[in-house]
A and B are shown apart, each in its own frame.
Chain A
């Protein structure tokens, strides 16, 4: 599977009479793009706005950030399977990406209506919160979109996410016939016999147990969000969007998945430091211990059958999902696969263990610091001049205080650098 990835850096986004890309300048025909989104009758309203790093601007609620990509050669479509898109296997041919920007899905639609699981992410384009979130370094083309309020929750989710993907297709298409200024070839060349074989076990949340629905909106594999047995993916499939966000944090967005630095470094050092075998995507938030252990066993077995001697393990969630993740590490170690776990940490007050189930097999852990912004002591964030999206936010433990988004605001509850973008960590005394 060979994939050429052409990158088109974006330094400026303006609205104009035609949607086109030239020399770092993306011009967007706002009316035409809005019209394309409105082709879906489920959309009640949509607008576009641009936010630059350094601006006194806040974007709320951020449901997803998508890197504009398009397949220009090879089978399938980018971000396959979601919102009715083709499920043809991707990963071959040529893909173009617009780097340095994100298409940001801004909407009041919540993940699901089963209670408790609320969209909480907002982005600040300057100030202390922006310094903690790499996405704040991107130029954001915000799609502020609301669906027909009469639709059910899943249809609303599908409609607003589809709207963001329509914008993706319109924007990325500007590069279809252009020569990319930067190009990189991604291919897993033949195994080098004297290098160890490593696999990436990438755990992603499934919303099925929380929402009670196998089709609730969340992190997808080829558009599916349900609890499934482990997937074996070629990294090229992920570069073509077969694995996407979003979930609860600014680090679990589609952009962050497609630009996961751990995946890219594992890939780029294939044949140099190791043989990279590919990715096992493991769905998490199984309900019973029995299911959790079964998934751990099967994931480790699959890694072993693929010849893995080493495994990197990451996850994007919290709470009970830790069990299938750490049991997978244990099962791998028991089969002789050496694991390293990249994770955030829970509250350590009074020397409490920051790992929910502290198994001795998890003896190689890299920490990306505490996941709760409260434990990180992130202060309330200062007022901003401009808000893109909703002008109010419900805050407080009961979400019963409605405050202006532009004012001083408590940070989102989670930071949680799932893929090690930053150098933040914890150290023990």
Chain B
């Protein structure tokens, strides 16, 4: 590297030398020389970089008044224009970890590279995922030297504009970006190597890190069904007989909206399934198996529900990439909301 990196270090009140839990409510302050953990960072950087500013904020202040904290930090970062922001390491401290993740995102939104470090179970590791580069650390500050060494190594790469190598090689937490890679040894041999290591309680690195699935908050239950308009959505590949709309049988890239305003039930003469993932004949004999329009009509006639929405939504739920599924789902949900639909029956196969 030609000139030393300009580094800004974000720490909490404790690692900034202000105080412990009693000082957790202090707001953002800027120091122009390294203090507290910043000294250790400067030492780890050596000649490769210079800590040109320390941003210190109480953990409670950051988490309770995040917008204000972020705005202040943003201002300082714009003025300081560092090559890289280093946040933490936060180890097992949850509020600190969440702040570090947010501060990194703030820096990145300004086009400034950022890196943090924390224990993989720190909630900040989840909130920073997948955008923030984070080094896995131990749970306590006993791990400070190792954590800083790893962070400094990656800070040098990132700050110098170098692309990071794979997570398992460069030592950061994997971020879900998966690329084809030739491991130079057949899969069966690697699998048996891993089995031997696991049986012998020796370390091994899984080739597919497991990330916790995204959680979806359920909607509030419908208070009064008798006033509610109910729509029907299926991933069962329901098509009009003969598939005149040319729906694919797998790998959907769109969904179809069909009117059922005039129908009491779905007939096998007018509808069928076109879906590469299940035995279609049952649905072909009675399409109400995947969209029970006839039952909803009965409930409507009985005033148990307010009404059946005039259109149904259909696509084949086979081999569709998650990213596409997410987009299709959002689009259907938005369409339902725009149409004043209160509830939706989602029938999978």
Contact = CB atoms under 8 A, between A and B. Distances in A.
A421 B186 contact: yes
A352 B213 CA distance: 9
Contacts of B196: 273-274
Contacts of A312: 191-192, 195
A312 B191 CA distance: 8
Looking at chain B's contact residues, the main secondary structure is loop
Contacts of B246: 398, 400
A194 to B, nearest CB: 12
A355 B212 CA distance: 11
B199 interface: yes
B168 A420 contact: no
A247 B341 CA distance: 43
Contact of A425 (B182, B198, B277, B326): B182
A338 B182 contact: no
A210 B176 CA distance: 32
B250 A340 contact: no
Interface string B165-185: 111110000111111111111
Contacts of A372: 319
B208 A345 contact: yes
A350 B178 CA distance: 10
Interface string A186-215: 000000000010100000000001111000
Interface residues of B, number: 62
Interface stretch (B9-17, B27-35, B38-46, B278-286): B278-286
A380 B46 CA distance: 52
B275 A115 contact: yes
A116 B195 contact: no
A346 B322 CA distance: 9
A419 B188 contact: yes
A394 B98 CA distance: 53
Contacts of B169: 427
Given A366-B187, A420-B186, A426-B179, A347 B323 contact: yes
B295 interface: no
A368 B188 CA distance: 9
B194 A345 contact: no
A417 B180 CA distance: 13
Given A261-B186, A342-B187, A425-B182, A354 B166 contact: no
Contacts of B168: 427-428
Contact of B175 (A265, A320, A351, A362): A351
B312 interface: no
A349 B253 CA distance: 14
B252 to A, nearest CB: 9
B210 interface: yes
B48 interface: no
Contacts of B248: 397-398
A262 B206 CA distance: 18
B167 A423 contact: no
B207 interface: yes
A309 B200 CA distance: 11
B191 A428 contact: no
Nearest to B196: A273
Contacts of A354: 178, 208
Interface in A198-250: 198, 209-212
B251 interface: yes
A425 B324 CA distance: 23
A262 to B, nearest CB: 4
A348 B177 contact: yes
Contacts of A319: 277, 318-319
A365 B207 contact: yes
A315 interface: no
Given A115-B280, A351-B175, A364 B321 contact: no
B191 A342 contact: yes
A307 to B, nearest CB: 13
Interface string A386-403: 000000000001101000
Given A265-B189, A342-B188, A363 B182 contact: no
Interface size class of A (residues with CB under 8 A): 35 or more
A351 to B, nearest CB: 3
A210 B192 contact: no
Interface string A352-372: 111101111011111111101
A426 B187 CA distance: 11
A362 B175 CA distance: 18
Contacts of A273: 192, 196
A282 B61 CA distance: 55
A114 B278 CA distance: 8
Interface string B244-269: 00101111000000000000000000
A424 interface: yes
A349 B278 contact: no
A400 B276 CA distance: 15
A397 B316 CA distance: 12
Nearest to B198: A338
B243 to A, nearest CB: 8
Contacts of A366: 187, 190-191, 194, 207
Contacts of B279: 114, 209-212
B172 to A, nearest CB: 9
Interface string A405-428: 000000000000101111111111
> Which A-B residue pairs are the 6 nearest by beta carbons?
A420-B187, A116-B276, A351-B176, A352-B322, A420-B188, A347-B321
Interface of B: 130, 164-169, 174-192, 194-196, 198-199, 204, 206-213, 246, 248-251, 273-282, 318-319, 321-324, 326
17 contacts: A115-B276, A116-B249, A312-B192, A318-B319, A349-B322, A355-B208, A365-B206, A366-B191, A369-B181, A376-B180, A397-B251, A425-B180, A427-B167, A427-B178, A428-B177, A429-B166, A429-B167
Given A260-B188, A425-B190, 12 more contacts: A114-B281, A211-B279, A261-B186, A261-B188, A310-B195, A340-B195, A349-B324, A352-B321, A352-B322, A358-B213, A368-B187, A376-B180
Interface of A: 114-117, 196, 198, 209-212, 260-262, 265-266, 269, 273-274, 309-310, 312, 318-320, 338, 340, 342-343, 345-355, 357-360, 362-370, 372, 376, 397-398, 400, 417, 419-429
